[in-house]
């Protein structure tokens, strides 16, 4: 098949060449991401095909968001299967037309109870929730004041909103207070933060943020995707951990991490704010409803974690143990208390080389580098799961130490690693 | 011009340099390409300049190149104030 117009042919060729060059630049800069193909359900142990065409290898997985180990739990799978049988495969509708089933409402009520809020609505993903919530609630007379390290989904959502945008230095409450003072002339103020920051694993100082917000008459918005289900003594999230249950105006979170790992997200919070999202949030109005199978699986997850804290307790123990192993071995870690444990390597190529060598040692991790993290902040982000047993972590630290010695990074800090490998 | 650069430099240091960051920011230190200011946090810098110098910076002028150093920012402010940049 050919093109009739030489002008069109030339234009397409120019487009192709442009993007081929861009992709080549990424490869040369060491910034090209490759996917590996997994041949098993998600779990503490998986089989991975890499490179493409190679026989799948059995690996310990240290980089999933499967924090509670429920992504392939037989009861969750069985419940999802029952959901398919009882409520069908898809609704072929947005929520407000004919896309709301009784199980959607039931899941929203149960998420409201878990998060300690007044109401909840489901979205196809937390990315969609964050894309829609700011525009639905705020306008030109208002201001959004976000932590500088908020997740990309909030950055994108803020860009869609006409409210004034401002930012504060990461977790710097003095800087936040300056911004709140500066914006007292606005109609509404909203402070925006992650609960647990996805790249560093640190927690927002929600108790102090809430205190400031109350003093300066601001709403508080938290994306708690890396916390719902396991942070806090009963797994309600960062707000429980920080003693401010019931004082967060808007929480968004995902069903795609600890709460089953399939897909779906939600906006939860003050009744009026949630209702405004139901009426106005574009992803809610224009995107398909969450599939019944996902809802059924998520309902079972909430059942499983509602009656016992066993899984979140085990996750906490695994996190403490893994941090101790890495610290004693001499790795440079970001401090924190969440099950996100970044091993800092600073150099993008080094991060990829270490990840590749760990793969050969039977450990599945991925190097994180620009643009996912700032330049010069490359890392391997390890993540714990309640599905990990001590023997998994024991085997993993052996591999980490072997590779760490090969690259001479044990007992070294940023300055020494950057001196040797560059930034 | 030197006064202008000093005021902008003082703001950039106060607004963007985090505690524990020992980098020295000078008038020609790359801010955007150096990872000190990103497109997300750039909005407050634009707003500061507009408010401080009673100017409007058109979106077409709020480019990474124009915002990359204190010197280039000062030049931008001077150009806008002189009327060389259409609103």
CB of A390 within 8 A of CB of A316?
A: no
Q: Is A110 a catalytic residue?
A: no
Specify the CATH class of A74-306 in words.
Answer: alpha beta
Band (A201; pLDDT cuts 50, 70, 90): very high
Residue A136, C-beta contacts closer than 8 angstroms, at least 6 positions apart: A276, A277, A279, A280, A281, A282
Average pLDDT over residues A238-248: 98
Rounded to a whole number of angstroms, the distance from the CA of B65 to the nearest CA of chain A is 18
Of B19, B35, B40, the CB nearest to A167: B40
CB of A334 within 8 A of CB of A367?
A: no
Band (B83; pLDDT cuts 50, 70, 90): confident
> Which residue, A236, A234, A387, A388, is CA-closest to A309?
A234
- Give B21-48 pLDDT, tens digit per residue: 777 899 999 998 888 888 888 889 999 9
Residues of chain A with pLDDT > 90, as a percent, come to 91
pLDDT at A31 over 90: no
Specify the DSSP element, H or E, that contains B11.
helix B2-16
Rounded to a whole number of angstroms, the distance from the CA of A212 to the nearest CA of chain B is 19
Place of tokens 């909103």: A161
Mutation for testing the A interface, residue in B18, B40, B47 having most A CBs under 10 Å? B40
Mean pLDDT of chain A: 95
- The pair phi, psi for residue A307, each rounded to 5°, is -100, -10
pTM: 0.94
- Give A363-408 pLDDT, tens digit per residue: 999 999 888 888 889 999 999 999 999 999 999 999 999 999 999 9
> Which residue, A121, A61, A136, is CA-closest to A386?
A61
Question: Can you say whether the dihedral through the CA atoms of A363, A368, A372, A230 is positive or negative?
Answer: positive
pLDDT at A4 over 70: no
Which region among A3-12, A303-312, A347-356 has the lowest average model confidence (pLDDT)?
Answer: A3-12
d(CA A204, CA A221): 11
- Give A7-16 pLDDT, tens digit per residue: 666 789 999 9
Portion 13-72 of B in contact with A at CB < 8 A: 16, 18-19, 35, 38, 40-41, 43-44, 47
What CATH superfamily is the domain B2-16+26-81? ACP-like (1.10.1200.10)
Query: What is the radius of gyration, based on Cα positions, of chain A?
Result: 23
* pLDDT for A3: 52
Of B19, B35, B43, the CB nearest to A166: B43
CB contact under 8 A, B40 and A155: yes
Average pLDDT over residues B63-86: 89
Query: What is the radius of gyration, based on Cα positions, of chain B?
Result: 12
Residues of chain A with pLDDT > 70, as a percent, come to 98
- The pair phi, psi for residue A201, each rounded to 5°, is 75, 10
d(CA A141, CA A154): 19
- Kindly state the tokens that stand for B41: 């946090």
- The residues facing A165 across adjacent strands are A144
* pLDDT for A30: 77
d(CA B25, CA B17): 9
For A29, A150, B16, B78, the CA distances from A366, given in Å and listed in that order, are: 17, 21, 30, 47
* pLDDT for A7: 65
Mean pLDDT of chain B: 89
pLDDT at B64 over 90: no
CB of A122 within 8 A of CB of A264?
A: yes
3-state SS assignment for residue A122:
strand
- Give A89-118 pLDDT, tens digit per residue: 999 999 999 999 999 999 999 999 999 999
- Give A326-335 pLDDT, tens digit per residue: 999 999 999 9
Here the ipTM equals: 0.89
pLDDT at A164 over 60: yes
Neighbouring CB atoms inside 10 A of A20's CB total 10
Neighbouring CB atoms inside 10 A of A366's CB total 20
* pLDDT for B20: 76
- Kindly state the tokens that stand for A308: 């016992």
pLDDT at A222 over 60: yes
d(CA A409, CA A42): 30
d(CA B78, CA A95): 53
The ranges assigned to domains in chain A are: 30-61+310-421, 74-306
* pLDDT for A395: 98
- Give A40-67 pLDDT, tens digit per residue: 999 999 999 999 999 999 999 999 999 9
What architecture is the A30-61+310-421 domain classified under in CATH? Alpha-Beta Complex (3.90)
Q: Is A392 a catalytic residue?
A: no
For A236, A311, B36, the CA distances from A294, given in Å and listed in that order, are: 20, 21, 41
Of A165, A169, A374, the CB nearest to B43: A165
The ranges assigned to domains in chain B are: 2-16+26-81
């Amino acid at each position: 098949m050919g093109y009739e117009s030489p002008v069109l042919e030339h234009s397409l060729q120019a487009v192709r060449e442009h993007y081929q060059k861009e992709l080549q630049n990424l490869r040369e800069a060491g910034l090209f991401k490759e996917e590996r193909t997994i041949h098993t359900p998600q779990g503490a142990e998986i089989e991975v095909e890499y490179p493409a065409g190679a026989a799948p290898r059995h690996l310990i997985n240290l980089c999933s968001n499967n924090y509670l180990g429920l992504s392939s739990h037989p009861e969750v799978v069985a419940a999802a299967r029952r959901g398919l049988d009882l409520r069908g495969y898809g609704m072929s509708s947005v929520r407000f037309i004919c896309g709301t089933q009784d199980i959607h409402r039931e899941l929203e009520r149960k998420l409201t109870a878990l998060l300690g809020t007044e109401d909840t609505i489901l979205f196809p993903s937390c990315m969609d929730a964050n894309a829609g919530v700011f525009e639905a609630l705020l306008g030109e007379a208002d201001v959004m004041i976000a932590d500088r390290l908020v997740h990309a989904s909030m950055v994108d959502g803020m860009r869609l909103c006409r409210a004034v945008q401002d930012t504060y230095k990461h977790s710097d409450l003095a800087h936040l207070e300056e911004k709140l003072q500066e914006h007292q002339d606005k109609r509404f103020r909203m402070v925006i933060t992650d609960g647990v920051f996805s790249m560093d694993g640190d927690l927002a100082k929600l108790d102090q943020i809430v205190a400031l917000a109350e003093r300066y008459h601001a709403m508080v918005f938290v994306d708690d995707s890396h916390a719902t289900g396991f942070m806090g003594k009963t797994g309600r999230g960062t707000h429980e951990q920080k003693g401010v249950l019931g004082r967060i105006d808007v929480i968004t979170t995902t069903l795609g991490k600890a709460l089953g790992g399939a897909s779906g997200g939600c906006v939860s919070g003050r009744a009026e704010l949630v209702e405004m999202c139901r009426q106005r949030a574009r992803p809610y109005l224009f995107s398909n409803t969450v599939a019944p199978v996902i809802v059924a699986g998520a309902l079972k997850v909430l059942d499983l974690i509602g009656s016992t804290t066993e899984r979140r307790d085990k996750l906490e123990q695994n996190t403490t143990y893994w941090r101790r192993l890495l610290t004693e071995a001499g790795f440079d870690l970001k401090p924190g208390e969440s099950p996100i444990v970044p091993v800092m390597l600073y150099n993008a190529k080094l991060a990829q080389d270490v990840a590749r060598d760990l793969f050969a040692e039977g450990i599945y991790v991925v190097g994180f580098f620009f643009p996912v993290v700032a330049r010069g902040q490359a890392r391997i982000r390890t993540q714990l799961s309640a599905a990990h047993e001590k023997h998994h972590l024991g085997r993993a630290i052996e591999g980490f130490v072997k590779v760490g010695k090969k690259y001479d990074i044990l007992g070294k800090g940023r300055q020494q690693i950057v001196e040797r490998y560059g930034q | 011009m030197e006064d202008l650069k000093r005021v902008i430099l003082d703001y950039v240091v106060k607004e963007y340099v985090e505690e524990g960051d020992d980098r020295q920011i000078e008038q020609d230190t790359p801010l955007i390409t150096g990872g000190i200011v990103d497109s997300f946090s750039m909005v407050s810098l634009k707003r500061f300049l507009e408010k401080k110098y009673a100017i409007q910076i058109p979106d077409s002028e709020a480019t990474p190149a124009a915002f990359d150093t204190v010197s280039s920012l000062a030049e931008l402010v001077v150009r806008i104030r002189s009327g060389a940049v259409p609103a």
